[in-house]
A and B are shown apart, each in its own frame.
Chain A
């Protein structure tokens, strides 16, 4: 009982923590906006189209450089839940080069990974974001409130 009484002040302090500190937070995954998994289908459809679009252009663009096998691992976005604005989106990519050392026979490994931000304008709404990325040539479409595209963001990164 004595031990439990010592814990009481800590419990009171935790209860009186400033607003926001103990809250779950303002930001959610775009998949979970406006509610848990509510945007699941629309988001994963978008991610799938982005991966296909990247694969389609890679050979003549990004994959002509140091790495010829860039793969999109993920595309993820965060949303300010209260405002419904997309806060950030990133591509996660990886590539690999393997080369045989002619003297030792060792297969030398050069693996790369990239996290590439999307050049979003502050305050881009979830609906405007999704609407802008509909239709063909999704990588080249201008992002709302900017003169930049997903492709431009990747060019800055890879």
Chain B
């Protein structure tokens, strides 16, 4: 009766060692997850829709001014792509926000018939003050003209950040 027990102990220890070997490398990674996507803060249910509404409002704001501003330059078809912010999970403050854009020009080479394309992408940083709470940033950008709203703790707007970038 003791024999199976004797054989079972090393097997159980092996199993524990195996589980530990699998889990231990993950533990530091979980502990290090200090920053999260703003859409998932404080959790996905609460964060997602609110952030998406703000992103959509910024896109509308950009589309509203593009024709008379950024799109008057070399790239007339500038398009907003993604707007994402990182948040320190423990404090709820924003680390950074990036807004990406793409634009292109194309011309026909009269000699060869080739369509010559110049396509570009931009990653524009929003000029945030350090330690801006996400809740305050979102409340600021939920106003009527989010692109022109003065960002908390600064004298700058999202528009100013784009002017320095595009």
**CA–CA, A88 and B106, complex, Å:** 12
The B interface, classified by DSSP as helix, strand, loop or mixed, is: strand
Question: Could you say which of B98, B102, B111 contacts A98, with CB atoms under 8 Å apart?
Answer: B98
How many A-B pairs have beta carbons closer than 8 Å: the answer is: 124
B95 with A102: CB separation less than 8 A: no
A78 with B113: CB separation less than 8 A: yes
Measured CB to CB, the closest approach of chain B to A93, in angstroms, equals 8
Question: Could you say which of B33, B81, B110, B113 contacts A71, with CB atoms under 8 Å apart?
Answer: B81
In this complex, the member of A76, A79, A98, A111 whose beta carbon has the largest number of chain B beta carbons within 10 angstroms is A98
Q: Which residues on the A side are within 8 Å of B119 (C-beta)?
A: 73, 92, 94, 113, 115
B115 with A80: CB separation less than 8 A: no
B81 with A102: CB separation less than 8 A: no
B107 contacts partner chain A, Cβ-Cβ < 8 Å: yes
B115 with A105: CB separation less than 8 A: no
Q: Interface residues of B, CB < 8 Å — how many? A: 38
Q: Which residues on the B side are within 8 Å of A97 (C-beta)?
A: 82
B125 nearest in chain A by CB position: A107
Query: A-side interface residues toward B, CB under 8 Å?
Result: 24-29, 69, 71, 73-74, 76-80, 87-90, 92, 94-107, 109, 111-113, 115
A28-B110, A92-B106, A94-B104 known, 20 other contacts, Cβ within 8 Å = A27-B109, A29-B108, A69-B81, A76-B106, A78-B108, A78-B113, A78-B114, A78-B115, A94-B79, A96-B121, A98-B98, A99-B84, A100-B84, A100-B86, A102-B33, A102-B34, A105-B35, A106-B86, A107-B97, A111-B102
